[in-house]
Amino acid sequence: MSQKKALIVDDSTVTRLMIRKIISENHPNWEILEAESADKAKSILPDHLDIDLFSLDQNMPGTLSGLDLAENLKSNYPNSKIVLITANIQDAIKNRAKNLGIDFVEKPVTPEKIIPLLEKI
């Protein structure tokens, strides 16, 4: 089995560290990349065409939201798992995530919320 790769996109260092820890404890062989904004994530994507999991925050600095990035990722990474992990729990955000076919997880991040998603990859 080839090594899996995850990209964690969140402006909160603490959240990125928490998600990284959960992934690493459950899948220590995974490669984990991080970006503090959707814009930064987009800039590193050309060097990483084989990402299996995208963890996206909704509200971040820059020109793109997590859902904006997710729309782009759906067409370019059709076989990847995309998860929106956010404190923004408005129905409009949840519905847009559902319409895009991505998972929605409400912050705070916990192993109980993340591990089931990892098992689907």
Give Cα 54 distance to the centre of its chain: 3
How many C-alpha atoms does 78 have within 13 Å on its Cβ side? Answer: 1
**Structural domain span for residue 69:** 5-118
What are the C-alpha distances in Å from 39 to residues 13, 49, 51, 54, 89?
Answer: 16, 16, 17, 14, 22
Determine how many CB atoms are found less than 10 A away from the CB of residue 48: 13
Whether residue 64 contacts residue 32, with contact meaning beta carbons closer than 8 Å, is answered with no
Give the model's pLDDT for residue 2. Answer: 64
Q: What is the CATH number of the domain that holds 102?
A: 3.40.50.2300
User: What is the crossing angle of helices 13-26 and 111-118, to 10°?
Assistant: 50
- Is residue 30 classed exposed, middle or buried when 0-12, 13-18 and 19+ CB atoms within 10 A define those classes? middle
Task: Supply the pTM of this predicted model.
Answer: 0.95
Give the model's pLDDT for residue 52. Answer: 96
pLDDT along the chain (121 residues), means of 10: 88 97 96 97 92 97 95 93 96 97 97 94 89
If one counts the domains in the chain, the total is 1
Give the model's pLDDT for residue 49. Answer: 86
